[in-house]
Amino acid sequence: MSFIPINRPVLGEEEKRAVLSVLESGRLTDSSYEGGRYVKEFEGKVRRLLGSRHVIAVNSGTAALHASLLALGVGEGDEVIVPSFTFVATANVVLAVGAKPVFVDSKEDYNIDVDAVKKAVTKRTKAVIPVHLYGYPADMDELIEFARSRSIYVVEDAAESLGATYRGRQSGTIGDAGCFSMYATKVVTSGEGGMVSTDSDELADRLRLVRNHGMVHGYDTKHLGFNYRLPEPLAAIGSVQMDRLEGFISARERNSRYVLERAGEVEGAEFTQDGADRRHVFYLLTLNLRKKRDSVLERLNSRGIGAAVYFKTPVHRTPLYAKLGFSKKRLPRAEMASKHVISLPVHPGLSGEELERVADEFVAAASSLLK
Ligand SMILES: Cc1ncc(COP(=O)(O)O)c(C=O)c1O
């Protein structure tokens, strides 16, 4: 019985050929302000998908978020509102620029609660980072309207949601900056990698500076920056993957709808990311189990199904943030979610037989344990 992982990249001959052509060219990276040939090609494809004015490639989603905060001038003395129910990078980048993360609760769809954001705002609030968790867009209109009225920047953490849409707009193009991840298991991968999208010429310029030590010509640094450049072999992989994006998303949707239809037989398993005004890209298909989540997880894993939990601990309760004094805050929905969510494999690499196994095993485990 083979093990079915929660996510697995789909890589083929074209990706191999693309990497080989970079190796043959001998240009593995390009430290110019604009970036190398494959970086520009990859950026161009993401920009056309998003319809945004600028897209800047960097070497991880974390770098995309960190660079965005630096480019927006967020720093010491500032507060940045973040959901606690997310991957740690969303909050870590706030610490990295010397600002204070202000954790807020999520809603039933696991995304940031805009009412909680309104209550958390202070004179020091400089930015808010909504996360489109699991590939499902957060409620953006009300958040943007509120943020604009208070001159607060909106940096979208779209690490998991490339290709998702909210009321006809691509996720990551609605705020001041949108940050994507191209990590190995993401909807589109370059191994490691990230992108920032923005319509602001000024911000795009600063992002390019942050990506490259603040340098334009020679070694004269104009802005605090780092080495956040994406290597050419990785950009070449990402560029090929972009041509396959729609196929990947459609397969994720199809697989998820099939599993959801089957999961409908299970009482006590709930799916809460189904708004008609947005497109979910199903980076993860995540269900809420009324009880026995850990037993279901264990049973599935023992049967070769790589079901997984994102995230078992809300960020404000992780050891680092507890040490920093953030863990006393009550965020009941984030805490509930971390006890009840389970994600099932629906990636495009699944064979029909594997998909059937995922659905059969989930229905069997959940029906017997949730009784
Ligand atoms: C919500 C979220 N934010 C940020 C990141 C960071 O992206 P990366 O792993 O590419 O640094 C990830 C992915 O790992 C993520 O899922």
Kindly give the distance from the C-alpha atom of residue 89 to the centroid of ligand 1, in angstroms, as a whole number: 6
Largest CA distance in the chain: 68
Residue 345, amino acid: P
State which of 65, 84, 134, 181 you would mutate to test the pocket of ligand 1, scoring each by most atoms of that ligand within 8 A of its C-beta.
181
pLDDT at 8: 95
Ligand 1: residue whose CA is nearest its atom 12: 159
Ranges of H-type helices in the chain: 13-25, 37-50, 61-71, 89-96, 114-120, 141-149, 201-211, 232-243, 245-263, 293-302, 319-323, 332-340, 352-369
Rounded Cα distance, 30 and 42, in Å = 14
Are 81 and 127 contacting, i.e. CB atoms less than 8 angstroms apart?
yes
Q: In a 3-state reduction of DSSP, which class is residue 249?
A: helix
Rounded Cα distance, 71 and 238, in Å = 24
Kindly give the distance from the C-alpha atom of residue 24 to the centroid of ligand 1, in angstroms, as a whole number: 31
Residues β-bridged to residue 341: 288
Q: In a 3-state reduction of DSSP, which class is residue 153?
A: strand
Rounded Cα distance, 316 and 314, in Å = 6
Whether ligand 1 lies within 6 angstroms of the CB of 156 is answered as: no
Whether ligand 1 lies within 6 angstroms of the CB of 86 is answered as: yes
Per-residue pLDDT of the chain (371 residues; tens, 9 = 90+): 799 999 999 999 999 999 999 999 999 999 999 999 999 999 999 999 999 999 999 999 999 999 999 999 999 999 999 999 999 999 999 999 999 999 999 999 999 999 999 999 999 999 999 999 999 999 999 999 999 999 999 999 999 999 999 999 999 999 999 999 999 999 999 999 999 999 999 999 999 999 999 999 889 999 999 999 999 999 999 999 999 999 999 999 999 999 999 998 889 999 999 999 999 999 999 999 999 999 999 999 999 999 999 999 999 999 999 999 999 999 999 999 999 999 999 999 999 999 999 999 999 999 999 87
Whether ligand 1 lies within 6 angstroms of the CB of 171 is answered as: no
Whether ligand 1 lies within 6 angstroms of the CB of 160 is answered as: yes
Tokens of 347: 């990636």
Whether ligand 1 lies within 6 angstroms of the CB of 173 is answered as: no
Kindly give the distance from the C-alpha atom of residue 62 to the centroid of ligand 1, in angstroms, as a whole number: 6
Closest ligand 1 atom to Cα of 192: 10
Whole-structure pTM value: 0.98
User: Chain centroid to CA 83: how far?
Assistant: 13
